[in-house]
Amino acid sequence: MNSGPDAAPPIGPEATAASELFGDRLPLAIRYARLLTTVGTEHGLIGPREAERIWARHLLNCAAVADLLPLSTRLVDIGSGAGLPGLVLAIRRPDLRVDLVEPLQRRVNFLVRAVDELGLAEAVRVHHGRAEERTVSAAVGACEWVTARAVAPLARLVGWCLPLLAPGGSLLALKGRSAAAELDRDGVAVRRAGGTAGQVVECQIPGLDQPSRVIVIQRAAHRKQKGSS
């Protein structure tokens, strides 16, 4: 795939997947892909080698997760980086309201630019800060859904994400092939943080063999107090 400013739409099996997942929003997804492979690469938000696999590894991997989200909900994307998965979900699903939380200023600058150039300002807000900061939690907390991709090991991630959820809300942690092993390893930490046992869900990508693997954890409705049985 050409990664220049006039990059072509995805070809081969990626074209089928992109068309099925994004539908009439595909032109918007292509514009975002161009931003990632030009401005994003220049500013070190994605590696130069990632431009060649921007669709299969990044955009389609994130877009498939939208199938887990109900209509007209709000989600908070933690450690959004270049907008993965938050911006991709907002592109695929115009019914969503998305808050992007990112601590690094240069990434925030890119996100603000992307939201503006893609015309997503009514659906997407960008917040500069960390999930555990009071100003951030005050602005985005008590939501039904939190997403995170390649941010931190699950044991740490739940400590940042679960407090932002309303009781019964869900964390969608996008992970790779080791998702099940990570959930098994960090299960105790998840429960101590107030989460349910969790499960690994595979979101299929049309025409591609590799699904998106998502660890789904709910914030328990009532957290046990220490010493309770």
Each residue's pLDDT, cut to its tens digit, for the chain (229 residues) gives: 444 444 544 545 688 899 999 999 999 999 999 999 999 999 899 888 888 889 988 999 999 999 999 999 999 999 999 999 999 999 999 999 999 999 999 999 999 999 999 999 999 999 999 999 999 999 998 999 999 998 999 999 999 999 999 999 999 999 988 999 999 999 999 999 999 999 999 999 988 888 999 999 999 986 554 444 3
The ranges assigned to domains in the chain are 13-218
Is 131 annotated in a binding site? The answer is: yes
* C-alpha distance from residue 163 to each of 21, 52, 124, 132 (Å): 31, 37, 21, 8
Is 157 annotated in a binding site? The answer is: no
DSSP 69-112: SPTT-EEEEET-TTTTTHHHHHHH-TT-EEEEEE--HHHHHHHH
Is 149 annotated in a binding site? The answer is: yes
pLDDT for the residue numbered 133: 96
**3-class SS at 119?**
coil
> Which CATH number does the domain 13-218 belong to among 3.40.1360.10, 3.40.50.150, 1.10.4080.10, 1.10.10.10?
3.40.50.150
Residue 75 near residue 96 (C-beta atoms within 8 A): yes
pLDDT for the residue numbered 50: 84
pLDDT for the residue numbered 52: 82
Is 156 annotated in a binding site? The answer is: no
**3-class SS at 29?**
helix
**Nearest of 149, 78, 148, 91 to residue 117 by alpha carbon:** 91
pLDDT for the residue numbered 3: 41
pLDDT for the residue numbered 49: 83
Is 84 annotated in a binding site? The answer is: yes
| Distance (Å, whole) CA 28 – CA 70 | 22
pTM, rounded to two decimals:
0.91
